[in-house]
Amino acid sequence: MLEETLQPQADQDQETKTWDAAVVGAGYVGLPLAHTLAAAGRSVLLIEVSADLVAALNRGESHITDIPSAELAPLVHEGRIRATTEYNELRNADAILVALPTPLSKQREPDLSILIDAVEQIGARLRTGHLVILESTTYPRTTREVVLPILERTGLKAGRDFHLAFSPERVDPGNETWTTKNVPKVVGGITPACTERAAQLYDGAVDAVHRVSTPEAAELTKLLENIFRSVNIALVNELAQLCERMNIDVWEVIEAAATKPFGFMSFQPGPGLGGHCIPIDPFYLTWKAREYDFYTEFIELAGKVNENMPYYCRSLISQALNHGRQRSLSGSKVLVLGVAYKSDIGDTRESPALKLIELLRAAGAELAYHDPFVPALADHGLESVELDPGAYDCVVIVTAHSQIDYADLVDKAHVVVDLRNATGADGRRNDKVWTL
Ligand SMILES: NC(=O)c1ccc[n+]([C@@H]2O[C@H](COP(=O)([O-])OP(=O)(O)OC[C@H]3O[C@@H](n4cnc5c(N)ncnc54)[C@H](O)[C@@H]3O)[C@@H](O)[C@H]2O)c1
């Protein structure tokens, strides 16, 4: 009985509590952002559609490796972070930061449906004094052409009644050196006052804030960063294919070029692009550019080269089996080592390993995978198996997790195809090892 009377009171307290910020979307971007703000003394409400995730977060349990539960739990227990599925609670927050997915449709066009639905929800609760910041990656003019009209339908005006800005999230999951806190925050508001208000929110929570004159400049900054990576990765992927024909070690060339102290930045070839950003974001700009009769040819070309890499890797595996094992791909036992999109994390979104698995299976390979961070690939009906390299005709290193003993792996395997230079110079000199 006591519990019954206390509980509604507690709920009422929660509903009337005010928050410095609400972060909409508690994923790879939203949770680290909430954590950074809360660690700097702000109170943060997480609005998240998944009820299970909300319950876990309110128990202090984190699902994002970069924010260990041991760091999250004290902030939750002190009441500085709380999660809810209830959009109505936005009314009690001073600032609303949107960190929601911005995927591509099947036709590879921007799909802003999740974002638009959420902005409608925010608009329905917008009040004078609110600050709204979009953090999701998107094409230039989204803040002005998509978000602003929905929010101004309320009769409130940006820059006068509420503030609106874009500030791209630049987090790199798994990167222990560069975090949400110490990567400078780029901020561009609809008006100078909007920029200032947004910058004030981050001030003190992140190490540096860089102001730009418009949301468009901030939106394009993020895309430039990701396009830069996509184009440079495509360049070395193309070079790797030429090097194979010319019998030149591409890794040795890249290592040598990287000794130049200026004017060169090292990128590495690989089985294709992965993750939520680099395979997707450049096409947001390609799509928008068409509205201006402009074709972003560098982006398209990079996409073409990078998307071909899993196919190229399949033929490399086939050659390795022919020469190293006198077997065809069809009927061979192949172990894919590492299915996350990059080392030492468990995120498989857009991972090139998934494409390679499909291609190898379609070619008739008997396929298994091992990944210490990914226990199962439900969509592919696969579970991670023990690492027993000798039990396979070929082991393909697709993602180089640092906890694997690669020298031991090469020792025990019949044939290794190393798509990440995980076996290093020793591997490249070993007849059993085939590299990109
Ligand atoms: N993951 C990265 O490394 C990274 C880096 C920089 C920028 N970004 C960008 O940040 C944005 C968010 O990406 P992410 O990786 O954090 O996505 P995510 O999928 O990890 O997280 C999004 C969260 O939002 C929740 N959600 C979905 N619809 C919702 C709704 N209507 N209301 C409330 N919650 C909802 C989901 O359940 C999920 O927990 C994207 O635009 C992405 O491109 C991502």
Q: Which of 23, 89, 227, 276 to mutate to test the pocket of ligand 1 (most atoms within 8 A of CB)?
A: 276
Between the CA of 31 and the centroid of ligand 1 the distance, in Å, is 9
Q: Does the CB atom of residue 117 touch ligand 1 within 6 A?
A: yes
pLDDT for 2 beyond 60: no
- Tell me the best of 100, 136, 138 to mutate to test the pocket of ligand 1, counting ligand atoms within 8 Å of each CB and taking the most: 100
pLDDT score recorded for residue 5 = 34
Contact 415, 321 (CB under 8 A): yes
Q: How far is the CA of 431 from the centre of ligand 1 (A)?
A: 44
Cα–Cα–Cα angle for 425, 240, 309, rounded to 5 degrees: 115
- What is the rounded distance in angstroms from the CA atom of residue 391 to the CA atom of residue 335? 9
Is the pLDDT at 3 greater than 50, yes or no? Answer: no
How many CB atoms sit inside 10 A of residue 334's CB?
Answer: 24
Q: Are 202 and 240 in contact (CB under 8 A)?
A: no
Nearest atom in ligand 1 to 280's CA: 43
Question: Per DSSP, which regions of 221-273 are E strands?
Answer: none
Q: What is the position in ligand 1's atom list of the atom closest to the CA of 25?
A: 24
Residue 370's pLDDT is 98
Tokens 């040819």, located at residue: 297
pLDDT band at 212 (very low <50, low <70, confident <90, very high): very high
Give me the mean pLDDT over the 292-308 stretch.
96
Angstrom distances, CA of residue 373 to CA of 119, 383, 384? 34, 12, 9
Supply the pLDDT for residue 8.
38
Instruction: Report which ligand 1 atom has the smallest distance to the Cα of 173.
Output: 3
What value does the mean pLDDT of the chain take?
A: 94
In the reported structure, the alpha carbon of residue 81 is separated from the centroid of ligand 1 by a whole-number distance in angstroms of 18
Q: Is the pLDDT of residue 132 over 80?
A: yes
Cα 167 to the chain's mean position, in Å? 16
- Does ligand 1 come within 6 angstroms of the Cβ of 49? yes
pLDDT band at 15 (very low <50, low <70, confident <90, very high): low
pLDDT at position 277 is: 87
Give the mean pLDDT of 331-358.
Answer: 95
Instruction: Look at residue 386 and give its three-state secondary structure.
Output: coil
pLDDT band at 355 (very low <50, low <70, confident <90, very high): very high
Q: Which two tokens stand for residue 24?
A: 């909409």
**What atom in ligand 1 is closest to the CA of residue 47?**
33
270 lines ligand 1 (CB under 6 A): no
How high is the pLDDT of residue 65? 85
pLDDT at 7: 38
Active site residue 277: yes
Give strand pairing partners of 367: 334
**Cα 26 to ligand 1 centre (Å):** 7
The mean-pLDDT minimum among 7-11, 24-28, 123-127, 212-216 falls in 7-11
Question: Looking at residues 183-204, what average pLDDT do you find?
Answer: 97
Hey, what are 59's tokens? 């128990």
Q: What is the token pair recorded at 252?
A: 């040795």
Instruction: Report the distance separating Cα 193 and Cα 207, nearest Å.
Output: 21
For strand 163-166 and strand 185-189, is the pairing parallel, antiparallel, or unpaired?
Answer: antiparallel
Taking the centre of ligand 1 as the mean of its atom positions, its distance from the CA of residue 102, in whole angstroms, is 7
